[in-house]
Amino acid sequence: MLRSFGRILVLLALLVLEVPAIPLTGLMLLLTFGLGMVFLFPWQVMMVRRLAELNRRLMRRWTDIEIEPPYLPEPPPPVPQSDGMYRSDRTLYKTPRIPAWNNRWKWLLSDPGSWRDLLWLVLDVVVKPLLVPLFVVLPARGLRLYAQWSELLLGATTASRLAGQVSHLKRTRNLANDSQAAEMRRIERDLHDGTQARLVAIGMTLGAVEELVDRDPTAAKALLAKVRDASSETLTELRRVIRGIHPPVLAERGLADAIRALAMDSPMDVTVDVDLPHRPDAPVEAAVYFAISELLSNAARHGNARKVTVDISANGPHLRISVTDDGMGGADPSKGTGLTGIERRLAAFDGVLALNSPPGGPTTVTMEMPRVLPEHWAADVQKMPRWKTVAVVMLWATAWCPTMPQGVVAGVFKLLGAEQKSWFLALYLPEIWQWPTILGMITVGLIMHVLAIRIPAAHNRERLLAGKPAAKVLC
């Protein structure tokens, strides 16, 4: 109670800042748009934003209402053209300063958040005094109401959320494109410097053999043996390249066995525990495979680990991977490119990587890839047994008969005292049995309807209670 009063006092005290801010803002806007002193505009917007941000922070701390900032993401720094000039609309500049300033000005001016903040500031000095009676009587309630009012104008809008998502997607797409391009470049280099060169050598040697075969069969034979060795080496090299593109075991057996094969080839004692009911999509499998492969080689190379545990499991539609080793720890993502590479790979799937590596170990890397698995995995679709299906169909097919014609309609006929008896069984019975039969029919019909609905529902619940299907594979 007392604390709430304290908070309200702080809120009211903030009026000391807000009230003078309004004429100041008005003056700055007037100078900006009236006299063209455009440099004042960013200051004005930033001043209002700071006040708004202070309010958001206080509301977050004092109430359970989380007010997300609604601002559009800041424009990226200008990128020079191929001739080294910076372009802003139709003008070229030598330095990035003016284009950057232009972008910033446009960003502030076109963001509806700037104007909503301003509206909030003007209205807030009215709303606060209006709420004072409520603040005095019910301080906690008043604070909540005030927070809701703030959220109305300071909270994120659909447009600002979408804009945030778009900029996030743009960034991850760029990352994915970059890493794919780098990958392609690496493969090209491998094929160009290795395989292609070797094939050229083989072709040349074969040409020499062709010339020699009549004159000096022994030398030709020796050369042929060389060609055979060279082709064998080429194959070995090609195998290495293929492994780097998409490991054959992954294509043949899927993630679980590919990781197991990786574990077997590792000099460390690797325990693999995969708990996935089905195979994820191929790109996801590849990303996970390469991430784990990198982590295993890191653990062996830098961490001096002996034992590693790899755990892959589905958490609803999210894929969760953790790799723990007993090495000496102290891994630092800023050193070396391994972890950054993994992060980049995962970013394409909105995946995140968390590293916990205290000096002295153990090191745990947890990776989470949200919504990469189909939803229905969480509860594997299990068909109802045939008899249940037949029963449900029969119930739906017949339940209408006792409820409607033999029950409700017969009841209406009886109430109206109609002459017509039609095929309503109850009306042919002696008077005393007629109402019990009609009510009985309705009851039977309703029970049948309820059963027809309940049987599939109960089946679904049983399935959910039984938990995920136990497709647990241990290695």
Binding site for another protein (CB under 8 A): 228, 231-232, 235-236, 239, 242-243, 248-249, 251-253, 257, 260-261, 264-267, 306
- Taking the least distance from each CB to another protein, the nearer of 304 and 422 is 304
- Taking the least distance from each CB to another protein, the nearer of 267 and 430 is 267
What is the SS3 assignment for 418?
coil
- Taking the least distance from each CB to another protein, the nearer of 165 and 232 is 232
Rounded distance between C-alpha atoms, residue 302 and residue 330, angstroms:
10
Quickly tell me which residue has 């977050």 as its tokens: 60
Least distance (Å) between residue 359 CB and another protein = 24
Nearest to 190 by CA among 156, 152, 234: 234
The CA angle 406-434-409, to the nearest 5 degrees, is 30
- Taking the least distance from each CB to another protein, the nearer of 96 and 194 is 194
Give how far Cα 393 sits from Cα of 389, 396, 401, 444, Å: 6, 5, 14, 17
Specify whether the CB–CB gap between 250 and 286 falls below 8 A.
Answer: yes
Rounded distance between C-alpha atoms, residue 137 and residue 427, angstroms:
68
Least distance (Å) between residue 474 CB and another protein = 15
Amino acid in position 355? L
Specify whether the CB–CB gap between 135 and 142 falls below 8 A.
Answer: yes
Specify whether the CB–CB gap between 272 and 336 falls below 8 A.
Answer: no
Least distance (Å) between residue 233 CB and another protein = 9
Least distance (Å) between residue 211 CB and another protein = 23
Which segments within 261-362 are labelled E, that is strand? 269-275, 307-315, 318-325, 352-356
- Taking the least distance from each CB to another protein, the nearer of 288 and 448 is 288
Least distance (Å) between residue 288 CB and another protein = 17
- 360: CB partners within 8 A, 6+ apart: 328, 329, 330
The tokens for 201 are 């050598």
Least distance (Å) between residue 386 CB and another protein = 29
Least distance (Å) between residue 246 CB and another protein = 12
Q: Locate all alpha helices (DSSP H) within 66-138, ordered by sequence.
A: 97-110, 112-137
What is the SS3 assignment for 312?
strand
Specify whether the CB–CB gap between 296 and 268 falls below 8 A.
Answer: yes
- Taking the least distance from each CB to another protein, the nearer of 121 and 296 is 296
- Taking the least distance from each CB to another protein, the nearer of 9 and 235 is 235
Quickly tell me which residue has 């089905």 as its tokens: 278
- Taking the least distance from each CB to another protein, the nearer of 56 and 260 is 260
Quickly tell me which residue has 């290495």 as its tokens: 240
Rounded distance between C-alpha atoms, residue 43 and residue 25, angstroms:
9
- Taking the least distance from each CB to another protein, the nearer of 78 and 247 is 247
Least distance (Å) between residue 235 CB and another protein = 5
Least distance (Å) between residue 267 CB and another protein = 5
